[in-house]
Amino acid sequence: VHQQQRADMKKIRGLRGLINLGNTCFMNCIVQALTHTPLLRDFFLSDRHKCEMQSNSCLVCEMSQLFQEFYSGHRSPHIPFRLLHLVWTHARHLAGYEQQDAHEFLIAALDVLHRHCKGDTIKDDNGKKTNNPNHCNCIIDQIFTGGLQSDVTCQVCHGVSTTIDPFWDISLDLPGSPTPFWPLSPGGDGSTVNGENHLSGSTTLTDCLRRFTRPEHLGSNAKIKCGGCHSYQESTKQLTMKKLPIVACFHLKVKLDMTPFMASSKESRVNGQYQQSVDVLNNDNKYSLFAVVNHQGTLESGHYTSFIRQHKDQWFKCDDAIITKASIKDVLDSEGYLLFYHKQFLEYE
């Protein structure tokens, strides 16, 4: 059986272990997630990066080389020392061989890639480059950036102040959780999360998102100056998703419907009139899980591993240099520290 599994794994491109260079499991699991992100893989394997800086200091050039190594067909574990040292150079707070946080590494890596990718502008539908200085359309922002809408409502005049901020990930708290590591929903069968499909006493990702997007009373100690009243008043604040990213990263089930958490999910304006458009939004707002980062132990001395999905239903566990076949039960039974979902229109066989 094990020989057959090894033979099957040899046929799959993109499966490659990573050598642990000394407490670098936090980096290895993020690299596995990024190299199995569909649109990011397509970008780097099609050689679309145009470097505008010295290539030996460009993290995007190194990631491009890393993707080539992963999908070259070679099976021996890769040694990511250049990637590690480039991250140290551009994100000095991560330098050194101490155990680091995988989430912090992800955000730092995306930030450096975003800065180094700015020359790789994506053309619009008319074949022209966009010149809006407030909008970056590099590959990192195209894939990972979403928009978080904050509506603050005055309790006196009911005026609403709205701001929209970009995000690369969303951190969600579990009620009464003793640690920052959150379990995946038990009993998962790959069905779409709809807010009801969870066991009594358990907390699902949908529960966390509902809590994240429910109105919050700010109280008398957090009064905000109202633009309508022109004075400080108590208010309520509600967060919603104004723009969903193609790849959504969370701190928990195999498919996720984001429609209830969209700022525009209730109604949309068409030809000057309002009409319900949930069915249309449903098709575009469903996500599928494709990578999970897990953590065991303490932040100072623990160990990170990851599960990644190859094709539609093949899962593999990545433990530094060792890659083994996994089942969906293994994934759902694990503790999910970081969850990576992509929109279902990217589903592959």
CATH number, domain of 261, equals 3.90.70.10
* Percentage of the chain modeled with pLDDT above 90: 42
Q: How many domains does the chain have?
A: 1
What are the start-end ranges of the H helices in the chain?
Answer: 2-10, 25-35, 38-45, 59-70, 81-90, 102-116, 139-144, 205-213, 278-284, 328-333
Q: Residue 80 above 90 pLDDT? A: yes
Residues in CB range of 285: below 8 A, 6 or more apart? 244, 257, 258, 259, 262, 265, 343
To which residue do tokens 């070679």 refer?
74
Give the mean model confidence (pLDDT) for residues 192-198.
Answer: 36
Q: Classify residue 172 by its DSSP letter.
A: -
Q: Classify residue 238 by its DSSP letter.
A: E
Give the mean model confidence (pLDDT) for residues 159-164.
Answer: 92
Domain range for 286: 2-346
Question: How far apart are the C-alpha atoms of 34 and 29, rounded to whole Å?
Answer: 9
Question: How far apart are the C-alpha atoms of 107 and 26, rounded to whole Å?
Answer: 12
Predicted local distance difference test score (pLDDT) of residue 268? 34
Q: What is the pLDDT of residues 238-285, one digit of tens each?
A: 999 999 999 999 875 345 566 666 675 443 333 322 222 223 345 578
pTM: 0.79
Question: How far apart are the C-alpha atoms of 314 and 296, rounded to whole Å?
Answer: 23
Catalytic residues, which ones? Answer: 25, 303
* Percentage of the chain modeled with pLDDT above 70: 72
Predicted local distance difference test score (pLDDT) of residue 50? 76
Higher pLDDT among residues 187 and 19, named by residue: 19
Q: Residue 91 above 60 pLDDT? A: yes
- Hey, which residues does 92 pair with through a beta bridge? none
Residues in CB range of 311: below 8 A, 6 or more apart? 12, 348, 349
| pLDDT mean across residues, the chain | 78
Give the mean model confidence (pLDDT) for residues 26-33.
Answer: 97
**Confidence bin at 177 (pLDDT 50/70/90):** very low
Question: How far apart are the C-alpha atoms of 198 and 204, rounded to whole Å?
Answer: 7
Predicted local distance difference test score (pLDDT) of residue 86? 92
Predicted local distance difference test score (pLDDT) of residue 347? 66
Q: Left, alpha or beta for 48 (phi > 0: left; psi -120 to 50: alpha)? A: alpha
Q: Which of 18-22, 175-179, 225-229, 334-338 has the lowest mean pLDDT?
A: 175-179
Q: Which residue from 250, 217, 203 is spatially nearest to 103, judged by alpha carbons?
A: 250
Q: What is the pLDDT of residues 307-346, one digit of tens each?
A: 999 877 899 999 999 999 999 889 888 888 899 999 887 6
Q: Strand ranges (DSSP E) for the chain? A: 146-154, 160-167, 182-183, 192-193, 216-217, 224-225, 232-233, 235-243, 247-250, 255-257, 268-270, 273-275, 286-296, 303-310, 314-319, 322-326, 335-336, 338-343
**Confidence bin at 9 (pLDDT 50/70/90):** low
Phi, psi of 137 (to 5 degrees): -115, 30
